[in-house]
Structure formats: structure tokens, C-alpha cells
Amino acid sequence: MPMTLTQKILAKASDKVEVVPGDIVEARVDLVMGHDVLMPLAFEAFEETGATKLFDVNKVVAVQDHFVPAPDVKSAEQSKRLKEYVKKYSMVNYFELGRGGVCHTIIPEKGFVVPGDVAVGSDSHTTTYGALGAFATGLGSSEIGVSMALGKMWFRVPEAIKVVLNGKPGRYIGGKDVILEILRRIGTDGARYCSLEFAGDGIKYLDIDDRLTICNMAVETGAKNAIFEVDSITNEYLQNRVKKDFDVLKADDTAEYKGEIEIDLSKVVPLIAAPHSPDNVKEVHEIKGVKVDQVYIGSCTNGRIKDLREAAEILKGKKVNENTRLIVVPSSQEVYKQALQEGLIDTFLEAGAAIGPPTCGACCGGHMGLLASGEVCVSTTNRNFIGRMGSKESYVYLTSPYVAAATAVAGKIVLPEEA
Ligand SMILES: CC(C)[C@H](C(=O)O)[C@@H](O)C(=O)O
Ligand code: SF4
């Protein structure tokens, strides 16, 4: 029977000739990622299995990113617990604050994922790595614990939705607009437990940073995973980062999909998700003029070098509006360093922005940028649920770095060309 790309990966990882949606498979995992919030819990589950060592120290990665530098004693204790487990199990892939960044930025950046991998993480946005042609998904801490012990995990093979991207995106249009367009069409449960499989001629106009953004936020549609076919852009990205070999799998032409979404990228316009849901998507021009107290540029969704370049392109030679504060958080040390070298950090500083250390920062309301009641924030992050970034009476809009930067200059929501 013909198979989708996700089915091919799961079949291979579970030594089966074929799998069909609904099958329960036990698949080998190639990467298990955890962070300060949930990895300590995952280690508790790991120890409950009776395991005394990790299935493969090279395939488990621990990252301090959510509540570091610790904003309170509880977070400090949590970070300390993670560090103790890292020592206890002789982990080699450990990213301390100041040496890594946000988990979903550093996993691809440091070459931990290759096409065809099965990657799991203690975080819902683990779907990000599908940008590189891997099957990647977030799991609960118990499953992460078991994965670290056995190097295997069970999965129900998802049904697939094909997303065909055609045409060339216009000026100021990137991965964030594409995933917001998908959310606008199918909503936050439109792809529940499905794999979103990206194909089409338009893919060649989306670089890896765009694809990472799309797969990152794919989980907001309820998807189990999201995956891009491997092409020359993927290979070029992997060339200097990855040391292990990989096979490139492809979906069969006659594979069956539960549904199909077709997007003409040339028709996508700058989009923004209004409070309080990622699928409350508007065209930016529809809500132009909303006054903004804070602009946040960062996170695993849009805190990579491309995002900072786009923001700097708008901010160069301009000042942040006197009624607005701008917080820029590069999503990894590598991104930060590169941004420094390219002069982007200077541009931000001269515009009057504050730069935060590469962590999750205010994205999930942890610290370094929480909102007061009544405050409005335009953010390049992925979730705008009630209270996500602070007060339950604050308002978060999700958009691209271009729109966010232009908004910071204008002090109100505007289109990129209006800054
Ligand atoms: C803390 C973590 C479990 C959570 C997630 O799973 O996504 C966080 O990263 C988020 O973005 O809400
Ligand atoms: S940056 Fe935000 S979305 Fe990404 S892992 Fe951190 S808290 Fe979650």
C-alpha cells in the first residue's frame, strides 16, 4: 500500500514493511529532548522503570531554557534538579544557560536531527524538527522517561493532511504568515492527531527558518507532527551541521490523505492572530491602529537569525515609539553571536530596544517581559491564550518579525511598509 512520508518513517523505525493510519507501532527513537520544566519529571518516570542508564547518551539532550536565569527560587530548584540528573546519568549533550538557547532552535542548529529520524521531546513544539524531514513530536514526561530508558516508544500512526504550497510569496511574507493562513483555514483542532505533510512548488521559496516556523506552530492546529520533503535547501542546511548519514525517504505519489489544503503563496498577505487564540487570524490591515505597549521578538517560533535580520531591516535608522517597549530575545547563543557580527544588535540598541539572553523569556509568561492588566503585546511567539504572557487581562497578538518591528516603530499595529 502506498504510504505518506510520516508512515514511511514510522514503518522503518518499527521494522515493518508498511503501516496504515490507526496502527499502533513501537518505533525506535533517534533523539529524546528535554528541558528544565519537564525533564526532571521525565527522569522520575525513567527511574520508575528501573532503568539505570540512558539507552544511548548520544541521543538524549537536556536544555536549560524556560526558567533561566532563574526568576525565582522554585525555578532555581528545578534547574538544579535537571543538572543533578545530567550528572547522575553522565549526559554528554547538556546545554547550560549561556551555552545553548531555546531547545527548538539549538536541536536543528547543532545537527541533532536528520531526515527520517524519529525525534521526541518533553515539549509540544518538538514538531519544529519536521522542517528537516523528520517525524518529530512532543510527548508527556512519562513517555519521555520511557523513551530515555528503552530508546523506543509507541505511536498511533496518524492520518495525514497534505498541504500543497504553490507560487512565490510576496514581499514581507514568510513562514509565520503561511502557518497563520493554515490556522485561519482549519482552526486549532483542524488537524487533530494528523500529520501535516508539506509539498508543492512553493516550498523552494521557503528556507529552513521559514519551515521551522511553520512546523513549530503546526501543533497549534492540533497536529501530531508536521513534515517537509527533503530538497536541496534541506541538504544545504544540513551539510555543515550533521555528521551522521541518513536516507532520504519520500511519500509515494499515490499515498492517501484525509484532506488537502492548497495555498497560493503569492496571495498570502501579512497576518496576525488576535487575542486569545492562534486561530483568531486577521489580515494586518483589518486591525491596523491598535495601540501597543510591548513588542516581543524572540522564541522558538521566530527568534532565529532570519527573524532578527527581518526585524533589523525595518528598525534600521528608526526609533521605537515613545509609548512602546521592544524586547528582542535571540533564540540561541549562535543566533546572538551572528546578530552581533552582522550589526543587528547595534540596530536594535540604537532603536531603543532591550536585548534579553537567549531563553524562552516572556514567551510562556515565565519572566523578562510579563504584561500588566490592560496591556497589549505584539509578539512573534506561537500562543496568545488568556494570561499566556502575564496578566489575565492582557492581550497578545501573534505575527511575523516584519509586522512586529514595524509595530514597535509606529506604537500601533501597522503593515511593514508603513513603519
Ligand atoms: C513548558 C512546556 C511544557 C510548554 C510546551 O510544551 O509547549 C512550553 O514550552 C510552551 O510553549 O507552552
Ligand atoms: S520559546 Fe515559547 S513556545 Fe518555544 S519552547 Fe520556549 S516557551 Fe515553549
Instruction: Label residue 213 left, alpha or beta by phi (over 0 means left) and psi (-120 to 50 means alpha).
Output: alpha
- Determine the Cα–Cα distance for residues 375 and 369; give it in Å rounded to an integer: 12
Strand partners, 283: 271
Residues 6+ apart with CB under 8 A from 123: 33, 35, 37, 38, 103, 104, 138
* Residue whose CA is at the smallest distance from ligand 2 atom 2: 363
What is the average pLDDT score of the chain? 98
Decide whether any atom of ligand 1 lies within 6 Å of the 387 Cβ. Answer: no
Which one is the CATH code of 5-264: 3.30.499.10, 1.20.1630.10, 3.30.565.10, 3.40.50.720? 3.30.499.10
Euclidean distance between CA atoms 246 and 27, whole angstroms: 17
Closest residue by Cα to residue 360 from 34, 69, 51: 69
Ligand 1 neighbour 38 (Cβ under 6 A): yes
CATH of domain 273-413: 3.30.499.10
What does pTM read for this prediction?
0.99
Tell me the CA–centroid distance for residue 197 and ligand 2, in Å: 23
Give the ligand 1 atom nearest the CA of 138: 6
Distances (CA, A) of 259 to 147, 164, 248, 377: 31, 11, 24, 35
Nine cell digits for residue 309? 535580520
- Counting ligands in written order, the one closest to the CA of 363 is 2
ipTM at complex level: 0.98
**Can 5-264 and 273-413 be said to share one CATH topology?**
yes
For residue range 302-313, what is the model confidence (pLDDT) as tens digits?
999 999 999 999
Residue 207 CA, ligand 2 centroid: distance in Å: 21
Give the DSSP letter string of 278-291. TT-EEEGGGGTT-B
Residue 158 per-residue DSSP state = P
Residue 127 cell numbers, joined = 514538531
**What are the boundaries of each domain within the chain?**
5-264, 273-413
User: Going residue by residue through the chain (419 aa), what tens digit of pLDDT does each one get?
Assistant: 999 999 999 999 999 999 999 999 999 999 999 999 999 999 999 999 999 999 999 999 999 999 999 999 999 999 999 999 999 999 999 999 999 999 999 999 999 999 999 999 999 999 999 999 999 999 999 999 999 999 999 999 999 999 999 999 999 999 999 999 999 999 999 999 999 999 999 999 999 999 999 999 999 999 999 999 999 999 999 998 998 899 999 999 999 999 999 999 999 999 999 999 999 999 999 999 999 999 999 999 999 999 999 999 999 999 999 999 999 999 999 999 999 999 999 999 999 999 999 999 999 999 999 999 999 999 999 999 999 999 999 999 999 999 999 999 999 999 999 99
CB 371 within 8 A of CB 391: yes
Q: How far is CA 89 from the centre of its chain?
A: 28
Summarize pLDDT for 238-267 with one digit per residue, the tens: 998 998 899 999 999 999 999 999 999 999
